[in-house]
Amino acid sequence: MGKKVLMKGNEAVAEAAILAGCRHYFAYPITPQSELIEYMAKKMPLVDGTFLQAESEVAAINMVLGAAACGVRVMTSSSSPGISLKQEGISYIAASRLPAVIVNVTRGGPGLGNIAPMQCDYFQATRGGGHGDYYTPVLSPSTVQEFADMAPMAFEIAEKYLTPVMILGDGMLGQMMEPVEFPDAYPPQKDPSEWALGARRTPDDRHIINSLYIDPYVLQEKTETLFKVYEEIKKNETRFETYNMDSGAKYLIVAHGTAARVAKSAVDALKEEGVELALIRPITLWPYPYDAVAEAAKGKEKVITIELSMGQMVEDVKLAVCGECPVEFIGKAGGVVFTPEEIVSLIREKIS
């Protein structure tokens, strides 16, 4: 590992992507991910990479599709409203079975909303986002270090399963500085001849990248193949972290990303008062760690989901817990971030 440096999440994920071999980046500016595109503008030319500020988000995501089809590691980034515009392209990339990484540094919504951190794009991220029968693996970091570590992880997952992968940060993780270390070596890119155009492995090997299948039976077969891949992703790539699990806690907290790190502070604070809480933090939001959440909820009196939204992940928690115990929700809208003290008092209300 290299030396620790103090960096914003936006910069750290950009640096990690470059270190991981990403040499193509197409995007359109938006707050609160501006430092990411700025960092790429500054650094890509130094590594003979391509930085292109597109004329729109729609253009940028289609450039990503094109670069991915050519077999290079490619990334784009944006924030909530910009990601909405990119959904058409993301659907096409998923249907075309191409690897690409999309960073979403979310902000307040709906509409133009504001530039404060929010987790209100959980549904959009975890349910495909664009049109059609598809999913996108979604990684949710909760520290700047994790944000950086997820860049190579996202490329690996994208290339292993030929799918777009989303890193779902938020305005706080993007803007905040924390110490971050970059590893000395990164996993190399997978041989792109498996998917790329112009990479003929045998004389008969033709790569046609397409998402249009007029014959319903052909589209049926293609979609079923896609969902077989999703089963593999669910089996191999589901990730989560647990905290204070062996404390004999009667209550379970479920939170991801920024909300999870604030919730951890609340768990520590309540522990000092003699109240034990267990915590589970989904790291992949799709595939969702349903089994792990169900297991963690076993024997608990109550499960409390904490989100920076009016309640989106809580639906997955309910699916996981499946009526075994009550699932409560603590949320905040508008881009207002909880303080640990607030969460502590809200949790106290829920368990008293």
Partner 1 sequence: MATTRILCAGFGGQGALLIGKLVAEAGMAEGKFVTWLPSYGPEMRGGTANVMVVVSDKPVGSPIFTKMDVLVALNQPSLDKFAKDTKDGGLIITNSDLCGDPENKDKIKLAPVPLTKIAEEIGNVKAANMVGVGALLQLTGCVERKSVEDYLSHMMKEKNPALLETNMAAIDKGASYVS
Q: Which of 102, 172, 321, 327 binds partner 1 (CB under 8 A)?
A: 172
Residue pointed to by tokens 């699932």: 327
Q: Which of 21, 29, 81, 340 binds partner 1 (CB under 8 A)?
A: 340
Torsion of CA 157, 163, 164, 168, to 10 degrees: -50
- Token readout for 208 is 């046609």
Q: Considering the rule CB under 8 A, would residue 255 count as an interface residue with partner 1?
A: no
Q: Which of 2, 179, 188, 326 binds partner 1 (CB under 8 A)?
A: 179
Q: Which residues contact 167 (CB under 8 A, 6 or more apart)?
A: 13, 101, 102, 103, 104, 138, 139, 141, 147, 150, 151, 154
Q: Which of 17, 63, 115, 321 binds partner 1 (CB under 8 A)?
A: 115
Number of residues near partner 1 (by CB under 8 A): 24
Nearer to partner 1, 9 or 164 (CB): 9
Q: Considering the rule CB under 8 A, would residue 159 count as an interface residue with partner 1?
A: no
Q: Which residues contact 129 (CB under 8 A, 6 or more apart)?
A: 83, 87, 90, 91, 136
Q: Considering the rule CB under 8 A, would residue 241 count as an interface residue with partner 1?
A: no
Give the per-residue contact string, 27-56, with partner 1 (x = CB under 8 A; - = no): ----xx------------------------
Q: Is 352 exposed, middle or buried (0-12, 13-18, 19+ CB in 10 A)?
A: exposed
Q: Which of 97, 256, 264, 332 binds partner 1 (CB under 8 A)?
A: 264
Nearer to partner 1, 25 or 338 (CB): 338
Radius of gyration of the chain (CA): 20
What is the C-alpha to C-alpha distance for residues 293 and 224, in angstroms, rounded to an integer? 27
Q: Which of 70, 229, 337, 346 binds partner 1 (CB under 8 A)?
A: 337
Q: Which of 112, 177, 245, 319 binds partner 1 (CB under 8 A)?
A: 177
Among the listed residues 182, 180, 186, 183, the one whose alpha carbon sits nearest the alpha carbon of residue 159: 186
Q: How far is the CB of 31 from partner 1 (least distance, A)?
A: 8
Q: Which of 2, 6, 299, 310 binds partner 1 (CB under 8 A)?
A: 6
**Is the peptide bond preceding residue 45 cis, with omega within 30 degrees of 0?**
no
3-state SS, residue 100: strand
Q: Considering the rule CB under 8 A, would residue 112 count as an interface residue with partner 1?
A: no
Q: Which stretch binds partner 1 (CB under 8 A): 209-217, 231-239, 245-253, 265-273?
A: 265-273
What secondary structure does DSSP assign to 202-263, as a single string?
STT----------SHHHHHHHHHHHHHHHHHHHHHH--EEEESGGG--SEEEE--HHHHHHH
Q: Which of 24, 86, 97, 261 binds partner 1 (CB under 8 A)?
A: 261
Nearer to partner 1, 247 or 265 (CB): 265
Give the per-residue contact string, 281-320, with partner 1 (x = CB under 8 A; - = no): ----------------------------------------
Q: Buried b / exposed e across 273-303, counting CB within 10 Å, b at 16+?
A: eebebbbbbbbbbbbbbbebbeebbeebeeb
Nearer to partner 1, 288 or 338 (CB): 338
3-state SS, residue 303: strand
Q: Considering the rule CB under 8 A, would residue 265 count as an interface residue with partner 1?
A: yes
Q: Which stretch binds partner 1 (CB under 8 A): 146-154, 174-182, 199-207, 290-298?
A: 174-182
Residue ranges that bind partner 1, judged by CB under 8 A:
4, 6, 31-32, 115, 172, 175-179, 261-266, 268, 337-342
